[in-house]
Copies of this chain bind each other. A is one copy, B any other.
């Protein structure tokens, strides 16, 4: 009988291939987080993984495709983190927890620098079905939480759902975190808490002392 009768068992080579692919994705993730898309070269990735540059192209057909694969992984991890949130949490509590998770992940070096204004990368992502599907699914899930939190009266009524969504998304690439990390005066946990608090409550004091700030025009 041929070996074809053995069904799902993967060969050693196949396993090796997948392990290597994961290593490539992990290395790319790190480099994308630390340097961003433009400053990350395929040579860097190959060196970090410890393979030849040419081999990268057996796994991913281009730098853009590789970056997209990393972004897909990030969106999937985020969805998992979202699904793992305690069900008894309020919508606002979930939003805050999700933000905490993202910021902690970023501090651990796990979140690619998104604001790459590279038009080619942008187009490549927009054309990537896997990426767009996951992005829309995540946005819909978070959007639902935002709508619920607004119904609960936990989010400001004068800000649109889309504004809140963008604001929360943008925190994942806020350079404030890099500055704070660089000064070293706060622990990672403190950084995360202050960022979350600043996002939801602002930097201004509330209460009687802050009512007449003269800033309204």
Query: CB within 8 Å of B: which residues of A?
Result: 34-36, 38-39, 88-90, 92-93, 96-97, 113-115, 117-118, 152-157, 159-160, 162-164, 166-170, 173-176, 179-180, 183, 185-186, 194, 196-207, 209-210, 212-215
Point out the residues of chain B lying under 8 angstroms from A206, CB to CB: 201, 206
- 24 A/B residue pairs, CB under 8 Å, sorted by A: A35-B117, A38-B38, A88-B214, A90-B215, A96-B215, A115-B173, A152-B209, A156-B202, A157-B205, A159-B194, A159-B197, A162-B179, A162-B180, A163-B180, A163-B198, A166-B175, A166-B179, A166-B180, A170-B175, A170-B179, A196-B215, A198-B202, A200-B204, A201-B201
Please state if A203 and B203 are interface contacts (CB–CB under 8 Å).
no
Question: A155, B199: Cβ atoms under 8 Å?
Answer: no
**Number of identical monomers bound together in the oligomeric complex:** 2
CA distance A175 to B162 in the complex (A): 13
Residue of A96, A157, A185 contacting most chain B CB atoms (<10 Å):
A96
CA A213 to CA B206, docked complex, whole Å: 17
Say yes or no: A164-B90 contact (C-beta < 8 A), given A96-B215, A209-B154, A213-B96.
Answer: no
Nearest B residue to A165, CB-CB: B179
Q: Report yes or no: A176 in contact with B185, Cβ–Cβ below 8 A.
A: no
Q: How far is the CA of A45 from the CA of B82 in the complex (A)?
A: 45
Provide the bound-state CA to CA distance between A4 and B191, in Å. Answer: 62
3 closest Cβ contacts across the A-B interface?
A: A153-B209, A202-B202, A93-B214
Residue in B159, B197, B201, B210 whose CB lies within 8 Å of A154: B210
**Pick from B34, B90, B92, B203: contact of A117, CB under 8 Å:** B34
Measured CA separation A205–B200 after assembly (Å): 8
A162 x B174 contact (CB < 8 A): no
Q: Are A203 and B38 in contact (CB under 8 A)?
A: no
Contacts of A197 in B (CB 8 A): 159
Contacts of A34 in B (CB 8 A): 117
For the complex, give the distance between the alpha carbons of A209 and B150 in Å.
11
Q: How far apart are A202's CB and chain B's nearest CB, in angstroms?
A: 4
| B160 with A170: CB separation less than 8 A | no
